[in-house]
Amino acid sequence: MRKPVLLVWMATVMVVCVSCHQVRATAPPKRPNVLLIVADDLGYSDIGPFGGEIATLALANLAKEGVRLSNFHVLPSCSPTRSVLLSGLDNHRAGIGTMGELNTSEMEGHPGYAGYLNFEVAALPEVLKTGGYHTYMAGKWHLGSDEKTSPHARGFEETFVLAPGGGSHWSDRKPLSPTQPMLYRRNGKPVEALPEDFYSTKYYTDRLLEWIEQDRGDGKPFFAYLSYTAPHDPLHAPESYIEKYNGKYDEGWDVLREKRLQRLKELGIVPKDIRPFPRLSSVKAWDEMSAEERQFAARDMEVYAAMVDYMDEQINRVFDYLKQIGEYDNTMILFFSDNGANGALPTAYPGQTDEHLSSFDNSFENRGLVNSYIEMGPGWAQASMSPSRLFKAFPAEGGIRSPLLVKTPGKPGNPGKINHSFFHVRDIMPTILDMAGIAHPEEYEGRKVRPWMPHPFGKGEWELFNLKEDPAETNDLSSEHPEKVEEMVLLWEQYKKDNGVLDIALNLADKIK
């Protein structure tokens, strides 16, 4: 059985890296709880520990107590990342070769493009539940729309989830597009109605705390997956939080991107001599926009910041509760984003119509409130992914780089450390299982499941970058080192063969204009 390929380097990690041995810290007195928090489309530099100006005190404190992983990578879009997270395998092996909404006729019948977390893998909650853990999930699932592919059918005891990829954060359930209706499920069953005061971030948090409390004291550890839909578009937040950021972004996306880059350098997260990827030609310079355009664009970023701020406060509620019941120190906590910030427009969603988009009230006074549909767009997305190239949906660093915070059980040996080692979402499941002392099974409930993948072969781009010296991918070295490009392309072809990847090109460039 394959051990984790690359695990977090920090004093309290209990496992071994590929090329270095770790000293085992004093073991916690009982098996640790695991709290896995995933934000949806959060940018790399949005939160305070990664250079952001948004108020994120809970995450700042988590960074001080644990470790920041500056070189953590995910996949370019939501459900593929989540399939890797919950399987520990390549997304094609888990059945999510691409987001189910983007499946084409060429993909039909190919197991790597089933569109749901397949049953050839043992899901993380299944393994932990069998190993004696309580398993809870609240938030976005996006790995199967019906009851038999719901999280309740994959090892989670208690669930309240949004089955598709997104939609309104309020009780009105207005979808991203007409072909993606919003469906909430409670333990596999459809939820007929939401409370009038429903707001996704708070409601998910409420349910998770309720379940932990109901089982408290029975001696079993818990695995809690808090899968927020914030700050995925449409951007929605309570009005008082939006007003908190009034005027904060009036200088525009170019200034914000530069300020965040400067803070990333000051924090030691990126090298001091790097150059950021330039603003996309399709994005206007801030001073070339009309006053009204700037006013509306600034408000959209204010709403985005309000969503992140509110999410941080809800995370703090969970931390406070765990401290209150004496479980915080014995809980492994991980926080990250499922992909880069989203620079696409609402017109990019499959099945979108003008009629649907025209049904919203996007007046300045209503932006971010009920029945509005706004997004951050490519200008702000580039600022959120500072200094990287592009954003969500692209396999550039801007699409696949995420902030990662980790606190291990017990007292950390080097609190506040920043680690620059490469780490991938695929390594999270084996790390959690190792921490819990649970082996990955060869069979689960009578079905054989896939073993862990072998060591990764590499990215196999047709462009070549030195990411250590050039993390913004500004200097393509492929012409200088054609032999290296050829070598990596051959590795990519082998990867496709091993994982059942189809050669299907999706033109995403026109979706960001």
The residues annotated as belonging to the active site are: 78, 142
User: Which residues, 6 or more positions from 275, have their beta carbon under 8 angstroms from its beta carbon?
Assistant: 387, 470, 472, 474
Q: Is 64 exposed, middle or buried (0-12, 13-18, 19+ CB in 10 A)?
A: middle
3-state secondary structure string across 157-174 = CEEEEECCCCCCCCCCCC
Q: Beta-strand (E) ranges in 181-236?
A: 184-186, 189-190, 222-227
Residue 254 tokens read as: 């170019």
480: Cβ–Cβ under 8 A, 6 or more apart, which residues? none
Sequence-distant (≥ 6) Cβ neighbours of residue 119 within 8 angstroms: 447
* R_g (Cα) of the chain, nearest Å: 22
Examine residue 231 and say whether the peptide bond preceding it is cis (omega within 30 degrees of 0): yes
| Region of 268 on the Ramachandran plot (φ > 0 left; ψ -120 to 50 alpha; else beta) | left
Helix axes 78-87 and 428-436, enclosed angle (nearest 10): 30
- For residues 374 and 371, give the distance between their C-alpha atoms in angstroms, rounded to a whole number: 10
> What length is written for the chain?
513
Handedness of CA 65, 69, 72, 77 (dihedral sign): positive
State the SS3 of 443-474: EECCEECCCCCCCCCCCCCCCCCCCCCCCCCC
Q: In angstroms, rounded to a whole number, what is the distance separating the alpha carbons of residues 366 and 235?
A: 11
- Let me know: does 226 contact 38? Beta carbons within 8 Å: yes
Q: Which H or E run includes 405? A: strand 401-407
Q: How far is residue 338 CA from its own chain's centroid?
A: 2
Q: What's the CA gap between 216 and 225, in Å, rounded? A: 17
Q: DSSP states of 321-384 as a string?
A: HHHHTT-STTEEEEEEESSS-----GGGSTT--HHHHTTS---GGGTTSTT-----HHHHHHHH
